[in-house]
A and B are shown apart, each in its own frame.
Chain A
């Protein structure tokens, strides 16, 4: 418990939360907050990752939000640039070490998904690995996110670089790009969109998103690539604002989110982040894997360089 008492606050006193999380994760946050006495004391506003990233970079501590949830490598670089987050005043035992200014909320794996109907119609083999997709039979039948446009693509790059090394990996990724042709997407959700619309047979994206469509009964199937399911984490951080009362309240909410929403989040994002968490085996990816280096913006830039030359 991190409960707090009292009635809903006036708009001025409400904590503003900016988030780039999916609606399912937003719901989990809300449920955690509402059932612990924060109902009516916050407003939550969702943004696209890029817009929120832009706002963090441009506005610094002037940002309207008191609390954010965001991809952690973004939080890192925003902190580096603007020194804008407060040290967290609570503790929670994470499986991996994290900086003092954020705690992870979700871990999101990358995976391949296929449109089984299209696959059948086009008479294509079921892919097993990312490398399989370099096969010319998939020419113009696969959709991938672009490393310049979306961090989802980084999960693909990590898997390839990890399995085949930088040189061969770059070559494979170039081949993949050529195979995807017109279906290189600027946004991370683009490939799934294409697969859903039946425009392509195979795509790469966030695993849980594909899983959700699969569960809805669409002809979509998630395939864990043998190179491994790499992951990105999202986390929660508190803006270091002058208004200490609100900062305090925001801090309490951050704690509440970390401590009370994980149960629900694990259903959508089956990845253990904190000590003592367990994941339903049926939802767990087949080859969970972590990149050998720390995921920083500089590493992302390096990978972009390797791929785009």
Chain B
């Protein structure tokens, strides 16, 4: 029953999310809206990603519930948020950003030239749309569907807070593993059942791979002016972003209100009280430290794996294994992974250290950065390693001198993605944090147990702000990776002989052999 519910709500949710994400991503590539507008929209759509998933359920209750912000503004409740519809909406909000990011990036590799070919061949607008946008994206659409499906299929936070009578398999797992009587044995049985769809997912991905094709090159062209088209998309963006804002606005209001919704008086008391707690500082530092370390280690892991896959001569089996690994870590519920780590590392020296948290996070956030870097590694020149070898480099040396510098912009994207994810994930690490290794998200979970919602929101905002800053910095670095290069050269020319040789040339070389 709960399994059927899970499939129904996750399936429908994934369908809606993919359609919506597709429309949003399409508009950013195929309209002539001002570039500034587009870049703002692009960030706003993924804003929910910067908040801990735990807050989504709250946000929905406090905005669309009986006493919610939206309900109060409109004057009556739009629909009952408990059960199917609440889940559906929260899941869509939850999975829209990652699905959007996936599709948005994939559109970059679609040759826009074909729009003209299609139009000039007399295609109807619908057929042009299909042949130039949908058809080339089928593989990615499937991937986005799977991603979205599993995110909601394995999430228990949202159904726990607004699932109502609509039981899903993830909450069952939650109740068995973490309920009144923890039962890890039955829990693992449910977890195994939950893994079955990932087999289907791997198959689906392999199947849609057949539809994939590569364009020889990616040409851009000047889009025709079309006020109707641009206006339509502008409206879509405004509506979607307004909806996201309306639902999350409450999070930015509650911390400044004495007691929502009974004493709506502005106060910074709550904020002061919560932030004056000395332990917050430690926990915040821990969080940033863990997220930063996870970002670095996760990036290195994903990079190495992708190198093996995209640029090594290892047998195909290794590469397939790598892909399967990437897929599976994405489909295992975080809670199961956390409990697995708990059992695996009990009694080992890394128990109750930051290392285990970082390791767990790195494994959990493997898939997306892996896919990101793999795409860009397989696009860059295949002759560089050979050239490097002919110039006397070892393979590793070429990797460091050439391959990595030329994928720097993707590396920055990976770093910021993993950092943000590590800041917001909860379900996996909750089991492996110890007394001295608490992070923000576990603190938030506690606040939730103790009914301190204002604290939940304040801490979430802190995470949110941190993520925004990180995102902005890394986006900037990513689009200006030559700046990094420039700074590096400056440093090298200021310090050391080694630098001088590399930069200024041959001053130090012996005159003759």
Contact A198 B67 (CB under 8 A): yes
Minimum distance in angstroms from A71 CB to a CB of chain B: 10
Minimum distance in angstroms from A55 CB to a CB of chain B: 7
> What separation, in Å, do the CA atoms of A187 and B342 have in the docked complex?
22
Contact B431 A54 (CB under 8 A): yes
Q: Tell whether B165 is near chain A: CB-to-CB under 8 Å.
A: yes
Interface residue total, chain B, C-beta cutoff 8 A: 49
Contact A186 B182 (CB under 8 A): no
> What separation, in Å, do the CA atoms of A198 and B180 have in the docked complex?
26
Contact B435 A184 (CB under 8 A): no
Question: Which residues between 103 and 147 of chain A lie within 8 Å of chain B, taking CB atoms?
Answer: 146-147
**Who on chain A is nearest to B180 by CB?**
A151
**Who on chain A is nearest to B165 by CB?**
A182
> What separation, in Å, do the CA atoms of A50 and B174 have in the docked complex?
10
Contact B178 A54 (CB under 8 A): yes
With a cutoff of 8 Å between Cβ atoms, the chain B residues found around residue A87 in the complex are: none
Contact B445 A43 (CB under 8 A): no
Say yes or no: A183-B179 contact (C-beta < 8 A), given A64-B435, A218-B259, A218-B262. Answer: no
> What separation, in Å, do the CA atoms of A181 and B214 have in the docked complex?
52
Contact A150 B342 (CB under 8 A): no
Contact B259 A216 (CB under 8 A): yes
Digit string of B40-72 for contact with A (CB within 8 Å is 1, else 0)?
000000000000000000000110011100000
Question: Which residues between 304 and 348 of chain B lie within 8 Å of chain A, taking CB atoms?
Answer: 339, 342-343, 346-347
Q: Tell whether B231 is near chain A: CB-to-CB under 8 Å.
A: no
With a cutoff of 8 Å between Cβ atoms, the chain A residues found around residue B451 in the complex are: 189, 192-193, 196, 209
Query: Pick the contact of B438 from A45, A49, A54, A193 — CB < 8 Å?
Result: A45
With a cutoff of 8 Å between Cβ atoms, the chain B residues found around residue A146 in the complex are: 175
- Comparing A16-24, A258-266, A278-286, the segment that makes contact with chain B is A16-24
Q: Tell whether B400 is near chain A: CB-to-CB under 8 Å.
A: no
Minimum distance in angstroms from B436 CB to a CB of chain A: 7
Digit string of B246-262 for contact with A (CB within 8 Å is 1, else 0)?
00000000000001011
With a cutoff of 8 Å between Cβ atoms, the chain A residues found around residue B171 in the complex are: 186
> What separation, in Å, do the CA atoms of A193 and B260 have in the docked complex?
12
Contact A57 B182 (CB under 8 A): yes
Query: Pick the contact of A65 from B80, B435, B453 — CB < 8 Å?
Result: B435
Digit string of A196-239 for contact with B (CB within 8 Å is 1, else 0)?
11110000000001000000111100000000000000000000
Minimum distance in angstroms from B70 CB to a CB of chain A: 14
Q: Tell whether A83 is near chain B: CB-to-CB under 8 Å.
A: no
> What separation, in Å, do the CA atoms of A199 and B80 have in the docked complex?
10
> What separation, in Å, do the CA atoms of A208 and B380 have in the docked complex?
64
With a cutoff of 8 Å between Cβ atoms, the chain A residues found around residue B347 in the complex are: 59, 62
> What separation, in Å, do the CA atoms of A251 and B464 have in the docked complex?
42
Query: Pick the contact of B346 from A22, A59, A189 — CB < 8 Å?
Result: A59
Q: Tell whether A58 is near chain B: CB-to-CB under 8 Å.
A: yes
Question: Which residues between 158 and 190 of chain B lie within 8 Å of chain A, taking CB atoms?
Answer: 160-161, 164-166, 171, 174-182, 184
**Who on chain B is nearest to A11 by CB?**
B436
With a cutoff of 8 Å between Cβ atoms, the chain A residues found around residue B346 in the complex are: 58-60, 62
Contact A58 B342 (CB under 8 A): yes
Contact B351 A58 (CB under 8 A): no
With a cutoff of 8 Å between Cβ atoms, the chain B residues found around residue A46 in the complex are: 446
Give me the interface of A with B, judged by CB distance under 8 Å. 11, 16-18, 22-23, 43-51, 53-55, 57-60, 62, 64-65, 77, 146-151, 153-154, 181-184, 186-187, 189-190, 192-193, 196-199, 209, 216-219, 297, 300-301, 304
11 residue pairs A–B, Cβ–Cβ below 8 Å: A23-B450, A45-B438, A48-B430, A48-B445, A48-B446, A148-B175, A148-B180, A186-B171, A197-B61, A218-B262, A300-B181
Give me the interface of B with A, judged by CB distance under 8 Å. 61-62, 65-67, 80, 82-83, 160-161, 164-166, 171, 174-182, 184, 259, 261-263, 339, 342-343, 346-347, 351-352, 430-431, 434-436, 438, 445-446, 448-453
